[in-house]
Amino acid sequence: MFDLSIVLPTCNRSSSLAACLEAIRSSVNCCYEIIVVDGASSDDTSRVLQAAWKSMGPSLRVIEESRREGFVRAVNKGFRAAQGQYLTWLNDDARPIERGLDRAVDQLAFAPRNIGMMALFHPGSSECNVAMEVRHQGRAFHLQHVRGTLYANFGVAARATFERLNYFDERYFLNGADPDFSLKVWDTGMQVAPALGAIIDHDELPDDRRTNDRGRGEQDNSALFAKWNLPERGSREAEFDQTVPCTLRGLRAARAA
Which pTM was predicted?
A: 0.94
Average pLDDT over every residue of 45-62: 94
Mean of per-residue pLDDT scores for the chain = 93
- Distance, in Å, from the CA atom of 93 to the CA atom of 21, rounded to the nearest integer, reads 10
- CA dihedral (191, 194, 195, 201) in degrees, to 10, reads 130
Write the CA distances from 49 to 54, 152, 166, 221, integer angstroms.
9, 28, 29, 33
pLDDT tens-digit readout, 147-157: 999 999 999 99
Domain layout of the chain by residue ranges: 4-256
Task: State the Cα–Cα distance between residues 93 and 226, nearest whole angstrom.
Answer: 30
- AA identity, residue 54: K
Question: Which of the listed CATH numbers 3.90.550.10, 3.30.1120.10, 3.40.50.2300, 3.40.50.300 matches domain 4-256?
Answer: 3.90.550.10
Q: Count of residues for the chain? A: 257
Encode pLDDT of 67-119 as tens digits: 999 899 999 999 999 999 999 999 999 999 989 999 999 999 999 999 999 99
DSSP letters, 30-62, are: S-EEEEEEE----SSHHHHHHHHHHHHGGGEEE
User: What are 195-243's pLDDT values in tens digits?
Assistant: 999 999 988 666 666 666 667 778 998 999 999 999 999 999 999 999 9
The count of C-alpha atoms lying within 13 angstroms of the C-alpha of 211, restricted to the half-sphere facing its C-beta, is 3
Given strand 149-151, what is the order of strands in its sheet? 130-136, 139-146, 149-151
| Tally of CB atoms within 10 A around 119 | 25
DSSP letters spanning 7-29: EEEESS-HHHHHHHHHHHHHH--
Q: Other CB atoms closer than 10 Å to residue 96's CB: what's the count?
A: 25
DSSP class of residue 152 equals -
